[in-house]
Amino acid sequence: MKTRAEEFAGLTVAMVTPFKNGKIDYDALQEQVEFLISGGASVLSPTGTTGESPTLTHEEQHEVISNVVKFVNGRVKVLAGTGSNSTEEALSLTRYAESAGADGALIIVPYYNKPTQEGLYQHFKRVAESVGIQICVYNVPGRTARAIDSETIVRLSEIKNITMVKEASGSMDSASKIIAATDLTVLSGDDSLTLPFMSLGAKGVVSVVGNFVPKDVAALCAAMNRGDLTEAQRLHYRLLPLCRDMLSLSTNPIPVKKAMQLLGRDSGEMRLPMTGLEPALTERLRRSLVDYGLLSD
């Protein structure tokens, strides 16, 4: 079934934010944009969780979004992370993303203050009705301590520019209910669930591992879209150890930044309170990269 935001289907990469000596490294950011576009990403998503948005100032968040839009130059879609636990703050960030030329906004469920379902509905409604760009509701209760119910998302689907859901609850039931009841474009929020979610009717993934193996993640999405389950399963099982490491070794984005450092794609620098991957875990990650064929032994 055709969904509301088909142009955002396929591989969306949840981009890391490269740092150098405590500052954002815009040269590295531009290199990453080129690498991801050449690797088959159809959407780039800066300033989300993987981009360490909680440690970016609002000015830095504005600069990252505007620079990614500039570097992309219309070649792929830009889905900017603009969420907050304050509705007015999320609205301000989303308005900026729209003015900077982003195609859509990825807005996380408000965290920490644990609003009711009515509060969540009013939060997303307020932001969506105040801007013109497309909105992706980001459901990730493991980060926010509050899930948005599928029934609330169905209500939100009545708002014209709420067109997407990034479903990172891990719930197949939730994804199924949304897909069955709406024409929203559902994207998997977990790399390891891309294949099963797409088998239900999801249209792609917002990927962490896509930061350094975009071609394989894009190929998995393409195989599912053309109905080639055998090839999709092959890619799923090939990617699975890397997908596991990105979430199990430590808190995202600690492992992906270390992987990119080992591969020469990032400095690996993080901002407190995020710290680097421990040596023993780094060795396990290095072994996974060797086994995958990305590093020599």
The residues carrying an active-site annotation are 138, 166
- 52 φ/ψ sector (left φ>0, alpha ψ -120 to 50, else beta): left
User: Which residues, at least 6 apart from 198, have a Cβ–Cβ distance to it below 8 Å?
Assistant: 188, 204, 205, 221, 224, 225, 232
For residues 258 and 252, the answer to whether their CB atoms sit within 8 Å is no
Q: Give CA–CA dist 64/53, Å, rounded.
A: 10
Q: What are phi and psi of 34, to 5 degrees?
A: -65, -40
Sequence length of the chain is: 297
Q: Give CA–CA dist 241/245, Å, rounded.
A: 6
Q: What are phi and psi of 227, to 5 degrees?
A: 80, 20
Structure tokens, 178: 């949304």
Q: If DSSP codes are grouped into helix, strand and coil, which group holds residue 101?
A: coil
Q: Give CA–CA dist 162/153, Å, rounded.
A: 9
Please compute, for residue 15, the number of CA atoms within 13 A of its CA located in the half-sphere on the CB side.
Answer: 32
Q: Which of 260, 266, 265, 267 is nearest to 286 (CA)?
A: 260
Q: Which of 6, 25, 168 is nearest to 83 (CA)?
A: 168
